[in-house]
Structure 1
Amino acid sequence: MAFIDYYKILELDKNATDAEIKKAYRKAARKYHPDLNPNDKEAEKKFKEINEANEVLSNAENRKKYDQYGEDWKHAEEFEKSKQQRQHHRGGQQDGFGGFGGGGDYSDFFESMFGGRSATGRGRTTQFKGQDYNAELHLDLKDVYTTHKRTLTVNGKNIRLTIPAGVENGQVIKISGHGGEGSGGGPKGDLYITFFIENHTNFKLDKHNLYTTVDLDLYSALLGGDITVNTFDGKAKLNVKPGTQNGTKVKLKGKGFPVYKKEGEFGDLYITYQIKIPTDLSEKEMELFTELAKLRKS
């Protein structure tokens, strides 16, 4: 397998910062995303390489291993262990590996890894789990109010997902067995999906509670009465008490956001009244308000 230069794929140099890596990945992923390049095999291949590159370079530990071991970064610990074992054997057996002599540090280890003879000479094949993949899913707050299914394209493959209601911004979900192929008969890697939730509604979300502001006309605030307000999934009727003050808060229990993985459980909705003072009063209205003011002063 040819060596893959992940820095070159993202058009970066080896001194790139984490922020530069993230920016380069997002730019390249948008450019080569299968949804924007339907039936384009070259773009599909490029998109897969971009995701592989990001998987390695966006993780500090993985990046360090990659810089040292290149494409075989996933086996860095095995390399080090094998090297230590070889040094131990050589120290005690005086070049007991014969024909390998002083040439390459990992010759026998590579043979055992890829199906050749093992260091013990018994032809053992070592199994390794496949590479884990990372993906981002951008949704609107309305999208995660209810449980729904969605198709996500990862490395050219369509994956049908069930997205539970109440998933949070920045939350990471693991989909087992949807990563890269294993080697030596090892299991597939996993897929880690990071959710980015954007809020384009008039509601503010804090944990599982929702907050919003409702305009209340002066007359309703003074005299009270029934009003209808918008909730996240419909409308609700509220009774306004006479003499309601500006900034008064009321709670609608169970009208907030769903709690993740707890079916039927919701937070609360908090409404703040914002009293609107009437403008452009008629001459008659001004007279009446003047009379009211005199009554309050008497």
Structure 2
Amino acid sequence: MGNTHVARDYYAILGVSRDAGPDEIKRAYRRLARELHPDVNPDPDAQERFREVNTAYEVLSDPEKRRIVDLGGDPMASGAASAGAQDPFSAFGFGDIMDAFFGTTGAGRGRGPRSRVQPGADALIRLRLTLEECASGVTRDLQVDTAVLCSECTGSGCAPGTSTITCDICHGSGEVQSVQRSFLGQVVTSRPCPKCRGFGEVIEEPCRKCAGDGRVRQRRTVTVRIPAGVADGMRVRLAGQGEVGAGGGPAGDLYVEVEEEPHELFTRDGADLHCTVALPMTAAALGATLPLPTLDGVEELHVEPGTQHGTVRTLRGKGMPRLRSSGRIDGYGDLVVHIEVVVPTKLDAKQTELLRQLAALRGEDQPNLAADSSRNGHGLFSRLRGFGR
């Protein structure tokens, strides 16, 4: 009696539908291979399942074999195919195993030579500005030292009249390969060629000016416009004014960072400015009009009679300009004035007598510290008397 072969459901083995695309089949295989590989799962049942998954992937990733499956046949039914399917590593190659674990195939797929032309790095320079310069904006010419394109070789790195040649070690691939045997079979690894450093080409006669780099360091002048309203730590970007890349690659950007100097009168809080006015107690009592410096010039500050220590006055629109804003009020911060009433510490005899007379006229020669609490008996003196009992 002859042997009969029952066609296996390869779609069910991988857990995909019959209309699954190649990418979906590969994702399902990767997931199962990582779960069932003998190095991860030593269970004998898992090893058998791993062989089935490998066979299913070999069939469904091959258009011709998949067509046979869709017609109801089994392309692995023949003796040769079945024998080959017993070894999951020989069934479809080491590259698919590596693809399942690392997402890339390891068998001889190189990345190719890397370009000698590399983008340049960004550069940073700091610029100290006064508060007034931050408020008005300035234009400055700055001296910077950066890498610039070599004028002799124009970035090629080769001496005039010469050019690069193909590397005789990697033959232009930029990589050299080595083969090692492991429990998975033959492992092919690639590394950058030590002679050409991965470029695939060698400069036999380097440019004498740049030593083959394609760029040289040079001091040059750049003009930067600092907009009104910048603050400490802000950066202005000059596109393409940074370091030229190796091999004449495109230049990076130059960043100019603002360092704002402390001001003798004002402290800054964003777009608002703060200052303190020391007001004699007589001026606080009688009222006064004081000259107040601002960024726009001198303003008159009117102090009402009876102004108290700690009073805050706000002058709208007299602070710093806001970046990318317009209008005097909405586009500027405020100037916040903190009034500090100053009590004299040294009085001569006449001043002392005048103050005593004023205190007597106002009934303040004997201040009543418990005046606000005398009705309920909980004033300062009553609390002190109670504390000693």
Q: TM-score range by the shorter chain?
A: 0.5 to 0.7
Q: CA separation in 2, counterparts of 1:203 and 1:135?
A: 26
Q: Quote the residue 2:383 is aligned against.
A: none
Superposed CA deviations along residues 56-111 of structure 1, whole A, max 9, x for unmatched, are: xxxxxxxxxxxxxxxxxxxxxxxxxxxx99964616xxxxxxxxxxxxx88x514x
* Contact preservation (8 Å) 2:232, 2:259: yes
- 1:198 maps to a residue whose letter is E
SS at match of 1:161: strand
**CA shift at 1:183, angstroms?**
5.5
1:262–1:278 distance in 2 versus 1, CA, 3 Å:
same
Task: Provide the aligned length of Structure 1 versus Structure 2.
Answer: 187
More helix by share: 1
1:218–1:130 distance in 2 versus 1, CA, 3 Å:
same
* Contact preservation (8 Å) 1:203, 1:232: no
**CA shift at 1:230, angstroms?**
1.9
Q: CA separation in 1, counterparts of 2:267 and 2:242?
A: 35
1:223–1:185 distance in 2 versus 1, CA, 3 Å:
same
**CA shift at 1:263, angstroms?**
4.3
Q: Quote the residue 1:152 is aligned against.
A: 142
**CA shift at 1:279, angstroms?**
4.5
* Contact preservation (8 Å) 2:226, 2:236: no
- 2:319 maps to a residue whose letter is G
Q: Quote the residue 1:137 is aligned against.
A: 127
Q: How does 1:206-217 map to 2 (within 5 A)?
A: 206-217=269-280
Q: Percent identity?
A: 35
* Contact preservation (8 Å) 2:125, 2:256: yes
1:290–1:86 distance in 2 versus 1, CA, 3 Å:
closer
RCO higher in 1 or 2 (8 Å CA, sep ≥ 6)?
Answer: 2
- 1:143 maps to a residue whose letter is E
TM-score normalised by the chain length of structure 1: 0.56
Q: CA separation in 2, counterparts of 1:85 and 1:149?
A: 53
Q: Does 1:90 align with 2:113?
A: no
Superposed CA deviations along residues 137-174 of structure 1, whole A, max 9, x for unmatched, are: 23232321211111112211111111111111111222
Q: Quote the residue 1:47 is aligned against.
A: none
- 2:342 maps to a residue whose letter is K
Q: List runs of 5+ in structure 1 lacking aligned partners.
A: 1-83, 92-104, 115-126
Q: CA separation in 1, counterparts of 2:322 and 2:312?
A: 23
Tell which structure's C-alpha radius of gyration is larger: 2
Q: CA separation in 2, counterparts of 1:184 and 1:287?
A: 87
**CA shift at 1:272, angstroms?**
1.0
Q: 1:286 aligns with which of 345, 352, 373?
A: 352
Q: CA separation in 2, counterparts of 1:182 and 1:137?
A: 25
Q: How does 1:190-205 map to 2 (within 5 A)?
A: 190-205=253-268
Superposed CA deviations along residues 114-144 of structure 1, whole A, max 9, x for unmatched, are: 4xxxxxxxxxxxx543222222223232321
- 2:120 maps to a residue whose letter is G
Q: 1:171 aligns with which of 234, 241, 258?
A: 234
Q: List runs of 5+ in structure 2 lacking aligned partners.
A: 1-101, 146-218, 365-389
